[in-house]
Amino acid sequence: MDELTKAVKELELQATEIKQAKERLAELETKYDKSKMIVAEQSREIKALKEKIKALEKELNLEKTLAEIKKILWARIDHSITRQWKSIKTVHEQMELLGQAQVETHRARTALGNKLEQANRMIHFLNNQTQEELAALNINNRTDAVLTVKKMLTLRNFVQTVERECQGMQAEVDNYKFKIEALQDKGLPSLLTSAGKLLTREQYATRMSNFISNQITASASTSEEAGPPSGQSLYNKLENLFYIAHEINHLFEVPPNFYRYTEADVTLTKIRRHQLPKEDWWQSMLQVLPY
């Protein structure tokens, strides 16, 4: 009986210990839940403070103000480009004609070869023979023969005229390229397609808009300057835009026109239509020349 009583008491003691342990566990769990709530609340407060600090730092760095200034400067640049677009398009048309002229004059000079010197000899020979002497050589009309030979000299004159007009246009084109490359080095978007052709004004306006948006976004995301910016740092961030805004207005000292273009194009048309003496006739004339 004593052993039974003792066992019962031990069981009661164990039950009491279990109850106390459960109560302690419940107390700890309650404290843990509260702790998690406190941590979560503190995390939210920390996050809010970080965002507030970030916003204040942006204000301190004049990030919003800089973005607005950049938009204003880019808008002025875009407006200036609109005013210059006619001249820009004129220069690019000149570039196309210069390319065509290079092909045509090369073809003409290849066709002429060494025949210019031969042509001068032929004309000299024809002008120093009597009608009877020419007839003996089966040359029945001196004037027609000279006119045919002079087609060589006429083609040479056409080529020289085109090259002279193209030289003036090339100077304008080179000056334009030099200035536009300097502007692109400072950040102006390219005016050309991937194929090297000039964009339309509408296409370039779209490219400019996308470029400005991306540039401002990238500038905001990479800003690492702590504290208020100095005057020098502000100037450095805007220097290129001031340069572009100024230089785009002076892209052309004198607006280009189509006077040289037209003269060159007219002569190119003459070159394309010009018929040189037939090769067999030319070779027959070479046979009569004294060597």
pLDDT in single tens digits along all 291 residues of the chain = 455 465 556 656 766 767 777 777 777 777 776 767 776 677 777 676 666 556 555 554 567 778 888 889 999 999 999 999 999 999 999 999 999 999 999 999 999 999 999 999 999 999 999 999 999 999 999 999 999 999 999 999 999 999 999 999 999 999 999 999 999 999 999 999 999 999 999 999 999 999 988 887 776 655 555 555 566 767 777 889 999 999 999 999 899 999 999 999 999 999 999 999 999 999 999 999 886
227 and 179 together in one domain: yes
136 lies in the same domain as 9: no
- How much is the pTM? 0.72
Same domain, 89 and 189: yes
Q: What is the distance between the alpha carbons of residues 216 and 21, in angstroms, rounded to a whole number? A: 63
18-67 pLDDT, tens per residue? 777 777 777 777 777 676 777 667 777 767 666 655 655 555 456 777 88
Of the residues 41, 60, 79, the one at which a domain ends: 60
- Say yes or no: 81 and 127 in one domain: yes
Total domains in the chain come to 2
- Do 272 and 129 belong together in one domain? yes
Q: Which residues of 88-106 are buried (b: 16+ CB within 10 A; e: fewer)?
A: bebbbbbbebbebbeebbe
In whole angstroms, how far apart are CA 90 and each of 23, 77, 260?
A: 91, 20, 12
- 109 and 184 in a single domain? The answer is yes
Q: Mark whether 27 and 80 lie in a shared domain.
A: no
> Which residue, of 9, 37, 60, is where some domain finishes?
60
Same domain, 196 and 160: yes
Where a domain ends, among 27, 60, 93? 60
3 & 138 share domain: no
- For residue 259, the number of C-alpha atoms closer than 13 Å in the C-beta half-sphere is 5
| Residue found by looking up tokens 């004049």 in the block | 62
Query: Buried b vs exposed e over 223-256: b needs ≥16 C-beta within 10 Å?
Result: beeeeebeeeebeebeeebebbbebbeebbeeeb
Angle between helices 115-126 and 279-288 (to 10 degrees): 60
172 lies in the same domain as 248: yes
Q: Are 79 and 188 in contact (CB under 8 A)?
A: no
Same structural domain for residues 34 and 88? Answer: no
Domain that holds residue 6: 1-60
Give the type of residue at 257. Answer: N
In angstroms, rounded to a whole number, what is the distance separating the alpha carbons of residues 161 and 107?
15
Same domain assignment for residues 176 and 130: yes
